[in-house]
A and B are shown apart, each in its own frame.
Chain A
Amino acid sequence: MAKKYVGQRMTRTEDPRLLTGQALFVDDVEIHGMLYAAFLRSDYAHARIRSIDVSAARSRPGVVAVYTAEDLGDFWQHGPPLVPAPHSVEGVIFHSRTQVPLAKDKTRYVGEAIAVVFAESRYIAEDALEDIVADLEPLEVAADLEEALEPDAPLVHEDVGSNLASHLIQDKGDYAAAREKADLVIKRRIVIDRGAAGAMENRGVVAHWDEKAQHLTVWDTTQAPIPVRNGLAQILGLSEHQIRVIAPFVGGAFGPKIMMFLAEEFLVPWGAMQLNRPIKWIEDRRENFFATTQERGQIHDAEIALTSDGHILGVSHEFLHDTGAYNPYGLTIPLNTQSHSMGAYDIPNYHSELRVVFTNKMITTPVRGAGRPQGIFLMERLLDLAAKELDIDRIEIRKRNFIPPDAFPYNHRIIDQAFASLVFDSGNYLPALEKAADMIGYEKFVKEEQPRLRAEGRHVGIGIVSFVETTGVGPYEGSRVTVEASGKISVATGVGTQGQGHFTSFAQIVADQLGVSPRDVRLVTGDTSEFHWGTGTFASRGSVVAANAIHAAAKSVRAKILKLASKVLETPEEELELVDGLVRVADIPQQSISLGELAVMANPLRGAVEPGTEPGLESTDYYGPQYGAVASGTHAMIMEVDPETMMVEIKRYVAVEDCGTMLNPLIVEGQVHGGVALGIGNSYYEQLIYDENGQLLNASLADYLIPTAFEVPRIEVGHEETRSPLNELGSKGAGEAGCIPVPALFAQTLEDALADYAIEILETPMSPNKLFELLQAVKK
């Protein structure tokens, strides 16, 4: 059947609702009798709780209840680990410590909730917070990643005996042997930090317990409504079917909204049941910096070994990863870093020793990129340094090391975040590199324009880096597709939507199979009453896993349609086609029946049905990939730096991405733009600044600088399409690609722009301050 909609740049079905302010976000939910929650959060990064006196808060008019850990009784429990320890690697050390709803005995990070107030308004609830007298005895703080591992460091979890949360070694081949044979070994310390997701909508939870119906409805800004439902059922002792979790329109997520069962997700539903009143909690921006997870630092001591003609023999790195005060998300981020530390290259020997460290700071969980930018930064920096030393052009050295297109599937033989062998399913990296170089005019710039500009005294640099991105990971997703009596199609899937355009791109898939317009496909995502099997939106998997489940379900329905229509129209299935909402006989268009009529026939009110048939034209199907599909690409940019003010201006930015089959190129471009913007923030403007006492010093948008329309340039997007063999659509994920190579690109371009200063950038993010210091330290 000819492809009609998949691949088209369709405008989005959901836009009119969003544009006119008619879309429901969590804070828009209003229920009669609703109470509002506010949380008292620790001001100390590490403190013993001596006492908490809530009596004054309880007696404030308008306050309905105040709870501390003591008041929760048996309900107080550690949250579930969201990602378990890796079983398949020998000798792993992993201490699981998960967060609690309200701190008991001691607080472990600034922002940890110690009490909750439920009141008639948020204003009163916040007033009541100030009535609470919390007597906290400050303890020594483990704030620095390296110091936290010293023998006399203050312990975040005394029972662990140290702050080492996990230790894991991965080996591919024999790096030590490879090193011996190398013509060049480069060793550097590379320091990487990321930041907050900074979604424009902060988190929120609304819970409504209907005592008479014995049913709980929860609206939640979550990326994973189904696991939240299942977790709540366990926690609250309800049946899963007594709970409906709805992820409505969500104002951006970027990772942290998949962290589950922080204080609020526990206590708001629980409170609603306790008090028999609906409860709303909406995070404010300042709280978001303290109470929502983020990504933070890694320190790598790394080495690369090469031959004199630039072939990489091996890469080795020891690194520390900051998990914060708890580690519910397991090793996902640092495993991703390992998966990406070999970049797009064919590297026979790899050694990685990972230590995950507990610190007295907020928990770290994936933020768009989820450990991948760190791996790519490491690899691309090492390669750039090698290129300089060996005097090989940076495009050339990449070409020499790319995994060749005939080497796929390529097994890296280390484990990935899904605890399976890291296998790259497909890829063809050279075309993207060449296209990017071509689009930005690399040759001409380097040979003609740059020398001319430099002669004028300007500091303009060009950069080009390649990257890979593991996407589309399992375990699975599902979907139900139904033809309704109206002839319109109804689709449900478990993943949530936070701006990626699922309502449109997924409808395009169904439209192709069923011969309808995507506008006639009503899609529901993120509502557990519509679909309750699945995991969520994360790791750039919607367009792979959910999409293929939808594709499978649509195909199944198509088969049912053809089977029934064949009987009704008395024509063999091969001679039938689905067009414009009809099933018709090819070449005899007058012989047709509409999908709606067929749907009614498939669900008779009277008469007998054939044994073994299912009613209606509906199917539920699942898709679970064997392993993740790997996307890739190359980004390039031209940037000017003012070595007096340290301000930068990106003159041109090119992003060539290869995410396999694109469901909707318009949406893919939007994802690339947004990812690059976040990447620019992560490269030069954003950093969460903590002091030695674990105090976050820039917890506001005035001090945490999210890029504006001035900092993000026009991005020229190019596409390559290497279909994934792992799924019928041939798709790979595209949600995170934009941000992954940016810090590496920034570093390379800055170095090039300031070539006369001969600096080495071994740290990300850079900033005007840091650049200034680097320049001061180096003589021209």
Chain B
Amino acid sequence: MDDLFTVTVTVNGTQYERTVEPRLLLSDFLRHELGLTGTHVGCEHGVCGACTILFDGQPVRSCLMFAVQANGHEILTVEGLGTMDNLHPLQEAFRETHAVQCGFCTPGILMSLLPFLEENPNPTEEEIREAISGNLCRCTGYQHIVDAVKLSAEKMGA
């Protein structure tokens, strides 16, 4: 594949233009072309959810997309959510409830939860578990993550 394509994409509010191979995965583009390594790659077959980002506001597996498909679109990654000195309430809640252990699945889960919380500001335990059922976590057993979502729903709803 010798053809290269120019991709223009807005990530976390900043516009980027890069020339890439059509087969370059969006996850690799974000991580290695743009240096936004907060999005992690766990399986490259769309099951674990670690690579989840928001694509025009919708949670999407970036390992199942090509960078060229993102041309002209808007992406939000975990780097756009908060900073170490200024955590998003959801990130704060994760910290309070010890919802992070190794942290590898965390960015993907955060991104999956953002649109969910917008539509469900007051979710039940069942609803939360369903919302994160597409994200695998091997460390936490999910419980503290569920607690974090409940806590953040309180915080954000307040």
Contacts and interface: CB of A to CB of B under 8 A. Distances in A.
A38 to B, nearest CB: 14
Contacts of B132: 708-709
B141 A674 contact: yes
B4 interface: no
A290 B143 CA distance: 31
B61 interface: no
A18 interface: yes
Given A285-B45, A712-B143, A666 B98 contact: yes
Contacts of B21: 123
A671 to B, nearest CB: 8
Given A21-B107, A252-B101, 14 more contacts: A15-B103, A18-B106, A19-B91, A249-B102, A251-B105, A286-B45, A498-B102, A673-B143, A675-B141, A676-B141, A677-B140, A700-B47, A712-B142, A712-B143
Contacts of B45: 285-286, 700-702
B32 to A, nearest CB: 7
Contacts of B40: 25, 27, 200-201, 251
B104 A25 contact: yes
What 8 A-B pairs are tightest by C-beta distance, nearest first?
A21-B38, A251-B104, A499-B102, A18-B103, A673-B141, A499-B101, A677-B141, A701-B47
B151 interface: no
A645 interface: no
Contact of A706 (B32, B138, B146): B138
Given A28-B37, A709-B132, A200 B137 contact: yes
Interface in A279-321: 284-286
Nearest to A368: B138
Contacts of A670: 98, 101, 139-141, 144
B129 A709 contact: yes
Contacts of B128: 709
A20 B141 contact: no
Contacts of B50: 200
Contacts of A284: 43-44
Interface stretch (B67-75, B82-90, B116-124): B82-90
A201 B139 contact: no
B60 interface: no
Task: Name, among B48, B130, B136, the residue most crowded by chain A CB atoms within 10 Å (CB to CB).
Answer: B136
Given A20-B87, A21-B77, A712-B141, A252 B100 contact: no
Given A19-B106, A677-B141, A501 B101 contact: yes
Nearest to A501: B101
B104 A252 contact: yes
Nearest to A714: B143
B7 interface: no
Contacts of B107: 21
A30 interface: yes
B18 interface: no
Contacts of B26: none
Contacts of A32: none
Contact of B133 (A20, A254, A709): A709
Interface residues of B, number: 61
A21 B39 contact: yes
B141 A285 contact: no
A17 interface: yes
A251 B102 contact: yes
B35 interface: yes
17 contacts: A15-B94, A15-B95, A16-B91, A19-B91, A20-B78, A20-B79, A20-B81, A21-B39, A199-B102, A251-B104, A284-B44, A666-B98, A669-B98, A673-B141, A708-B136, A715-B141, A738-B141
Given A252-B104, A712-B141, A11 B47 contact: no
B115 interface: no
Task: Name, among B40, B94, B96, B130, the residue most crowded by chain A CB atoms within 10 Å (CB to CB).
Answer: B40
Nearest to A197: B138
Given A673-B141, A715-B141, A201 B78 contact: no
B98 A11 contact: yes
B77 to A, nearest CB: 7
Contacts of B144: 669-670, 673
B41 interface: yes
A667 B110 CA distance: 21
Given A12-B100, A22-B84, A715 B48 contact: no
A11 B102 contact: no
Contact of B84 (A16, A250, A285, A702): A16
B102 to A, nearest CB: 3
Task: Name, among A200, A202, A710, the residue most crowded by chain B CB atoms within 10 Å (CB to CB).
Answer: A200
B36 interface: yes
B155 interface: no
Interface in A13-41: 14-25, 27-28, 30
Contacts of A24: 37
Contacts of A285: 42-45, 48
Contacts of A676: 141
A202 B139 contact: no
A709 B125 CA distance: 10
A629 interface: no
B47 A20 contact: no
B143 A23 contact: no
A17 B136 contact: no
Task: Name, among B32, B95, B105, the residue most crowded by chain A CB atoms within 10 Å (CB to CB).
Answer: B95
B23 A19 contact: no
A7 B31 CA distance: 39
Contacts of B32: 30
Interface string A166-201: 000000000000000000000000000000011111
Contacts of A15: 94-95, 100, 103
Task: Name, among B130, B134, B140, the residue most crowded by chain A CB atoms within 10 Å (CB to CB).
Answer: B140
Given A15-B94, A670-B139, A702 B47 contact: yes
A678 interface: yes
A500 interface: yes
A79 B125 CA distance: 49
B59 to A, nearest CB: 15
Task: Name, among A30, A250, A498, A673, the residue most crowded by chain B CB atoms within 10 Å (CB to CB).
Answer: A673
Nearest to B108: A200
Given A499-B103, A700-B45, A252 B87 contact: no
A123 B28 CA distance: 11
Contacts of B81: 20
A20 B82 contact: yes
A745 to B, nearest CB: 15
A709 B138 CA distance: 11
B130 to A, nearest CB: 8
Nearest to A250: B102
A715 B143 contact: yes
B98 A701 contact: no
Contacts of B98: 11-12, 666-667, 669-670
A676 B23 CA distance: 40
Contacts of A27: 31, 37, 40-41
Nearest to A10: B98
Task: Name, among B31, B43, B98, B102, the residue most crowded by chain A CB atoms within 10 Å (CB to CB).
Answer: B102
Contacts of A678: 138
Task: Name, among A17, A199, A499, the residue most crowded by chain B CB atoms within 10 Å (CB to CB).
Answer: A499
Contacts of A249: 102-103
